[in-house]
Amino acid sequence: MWKLLLFVLLALPAGAQELLGHGGPVRALALLPGGGLASAGFDAAVIWWHPASGQAQRVARWHGGAVNALAALPDGRLASAGEDGRIALWPPGGAEAPAEVPQAEGAPVAALAAAPDGRLAAAGWDGAIRVFAPGGGSRRLEGHAGPVTALAWGADGVLLSAGQDGTVRAWDSAGTPTTLAERGLPRTALAALPGGGLAEAGLDGQVHLGALSLPAGDRPVVALATAPGLLAAATAGGAVTLWSLPEGRLLHRLDGPGLPVWSLAFSADAATLWTGGQDRRIRRWEVATGAALGPLAPEAAPAAPDAEAFRACAACHSLAGDSAPMAGPTLHGLFGRRMGSLPGYAYSPRLAQGDVVWNRETVAQLFTQGPDVMLPGTRMPVQRMQDPEDLAALLRFLEEATR
């Protein structure tokens, strides 16, 4: 049973302020320098957000499968990795094509961690950890008996890892591991505590801080996040708990949608907590009260009965004719416009071919087949609408609002 649970946690695609832009569960979050936020998910997309406005600044679909992990590097770059076994290094703000870090084995990557000195660690299903130096070169660390599922850099610069074998390990400068804990059940999350110490959790639903254990719920813990004096944990059952440290006092249990929460990130000032989960939403919570801060529509949509159908699209697209492009081009004048023809927007090569004219039929095809099927190679996040009424509402809204 635990092998099945672990597979679901790390490999299978599924199913405050709210940011809606992903076409599948949000698997990873990363706080960026300057207060930006990046997210990644089972739809193979990486999205750079402006959290205050709720707008997606860029969407990249370079990976060939679910993106399981993100890590913000000290120099402002972002690392991403996932099911396809490739690691991408993105410049600040993102780009169409990253600089790829070679990974010859190509094993799916489950975890990334960036050190303050610029080292990047990656680990995954082949049981190995790869550490990439800032100036180039890498080393391979082996010691876990099975997939490595979580990584963190300790305050002293020591690499920490956890795996399906139920162990938590520390790696010295020579690459020799020391076993810190043996839990018997797979470990799924690690977080280095500010000022020293380690939080680790797994399928038992407990968060362990040395001799102290904190109950996070009756389902596996899949994500941890720390800030000075704070610890957050999320479970596959949808429970999100906040504790104060070092005493481990429970502050809040967040009242979410009851679906798995896969990722967590504190804001730079630790006043807010971001969560990403099964429902494709990125939610924002007030740490002091545990209150949800949202929802926030990225753009005030015209008051219309069908406007709700556009909410997910609003993260990436404007409706105004005079607005600058967001992560996607403005939809003003959409119907009758040839794909890839809007001046000033850097389309993907597939959309730049211009062989589709947008109308009710082609837009309906886009959302029933999915952009990855209709337009393979597009950077648009995978969005499908299976409910005919929802699709009809979206088409009615677009016909009216994009004139």
For residue 322, what pLDDT is reported?
Answer: 64
Q: What are the Cα distances from residue 396, in Å, to 15, 310, 333, 399, 401?
A: 26, 10, 14, 5, 9
For residue 299, what pLDDT is reported?
Answer: 40
Tokens encoding 55: 């707008």
From 286, 316, 331, the end of a domain falls on 286
Q: Are residues 229 and 327 in the same domain?
A: no
Q: Are residues 354 and 222 in the same domain?
A: no
From 286, 319, 340, the end of a domain falls on 286
Q: Which residue has the higher pLDDT, 92 or 312?
A: 92
Q: Which residue has the higher pLDDT, 47 or 294?
A: 47
- Are residues 62 and 78 in contact, defined by beta-carbon separation less than 8 angstroms? no
The total of structural domains in the chain comes to 2
For residue 364, what pLDDT is reported?
Answer: 87
pLDDT-derived band at 312 (thresholds 50, 70, 90) equals low
Mean pLDDT of 16-21: 65
Tens-place pLDDT, residues 34-81 = 889 999 998 888 999 988 877 888 888 888 888 999 999 999 999 999
Residue 197's CB is within 10 A of a number of other CB atoms, namely: 16
Mean pLDDT of 27-33: 94
pLDDT-derived band at 4 (thresholds 50, 70, 90) equals very low
Q: Are residues 146 and 180 in the same domain?
A: yes
pLDDT-derived band at 240 (thresholds 50, 70, 90) equals very high
For residue 304, what pLDDT is reported?
Answer: 56
pLDDT-derived band at 32 (thresholds 50, 70, 90) equals very high
3-state helix, strand, coil in the chain (%, to 5): 15, 35, 50
pLDDT-derived band at 381 (thresholds 50, 70, 90) equals low
For residue 65, what pLDDT is reported?
Answer: 83
Residue 332's domain comprises 307-401
For residue 119, what pLDDT is reported?
Answer: 94
- Are residues 23 and 280 in contact, defined by beta-carbon separation less than 8 angstroms? yes
CA–CA dist 46, 73 (Å, integer):
16
The answer as to whether 364 is a domain residue is yes
pLDDT at 301 over 60: no
Q: What are the Cα distances from residue 202, in Å, to 167, 184, 191, 210, 307?
A: 10, 10, 12, 14, 41
Q: Range with the lowest mean pLDDT among 235-249, 300-314, 342-356, 368-382?
A: 300-314
Q: Are residues 211 and 353 in the same domain?
A: no
Alpha carbon 390 to its chain's center: 26
State which H helix or E strand residue 374 sits in. Answer: helix 371-374
Helix (H, G, I), strand (E, B) or coil at 263: strand
Q: Which residue has the higher pLDDT, 86 or 324?
A: 86
For residue 265, what pLDDT is reported?
Answer: 96
The answer as to whether 296 is a domain residue is no
pLDDT at 142 over 70: yes
Q: What are the Cα distances from residue 114, in Å, to 70, 99, 288, 303?
A: 9, 16, 28, 45
For residue 105, what pLDDT is reported?
Answer: 57
Mean pLDDT of 169-191: 93
CATH of the domain at 168: 2.130.10.10
Helix (H, G, I), strand (E, B) or coil at 201: strand
Q: What are the Cα distances from residue 263, in Å, to 40, 57, 285?
A: 10, 20, 13
Q: Are residues 235 and 314 in the same domain?
A: no
Mean pLDDT of 101-113: 79
N-to-C CA span, the chain: 54
pLDDT-derived band at 294 (thresholds 50, 70, 90) equals low
pLDDT at 182 over 50: yes
Q: Are residues 313 and 281 in the same domain?
A: no
Q: Are residues 265 and 319 in the same domain?
A: no
Q: Which residue has the higher pLDDT, 119 or 57?
A: 119
The answer as to whether 300 is a domain residue is no
CA–CA dist 3, 330 (Å, integer):
45
Q: Are residues 258 and 312 in the same domain?
A: no
CATH of the domain at 311: 1.10.760.10
The type of residue at 309 is A
Task: Indicate the pTM of the whole model.
Answer: 0.75
pLDDT-derived band at 162 (thresholds 50, 70, 90) equals very high
Q: CA 27, 32, 36: angle at the middle one, nearest 5?
A: 90
Mean pLDDT of 233-240: 91
What is the residue-wise DSSP string for 272-337? EEEEEETTSEEEEEETTT--B-----SS---S-TTGGGGTTGGGT----TTSPP-SS---TT-TTP
For residue 123, what pLDDT is reported?
Answer: 93
Q: Are residues 17 and 73 in the same domain?
A: yes
Q: Are residues 14 and 95 in the same domain?
A: yes
Q: Are residues 213 and 354 in the same domain?
A: no
Q: Are residues 281 and 333 in the same domain?
A: no
From 253, 286, 319, the end of a domain falls on 286
pLDDT at 298 over 50: no
Q: Range with the lowest mean pLDDT among 58-67, 119-128, 325-334?
A: 325-334
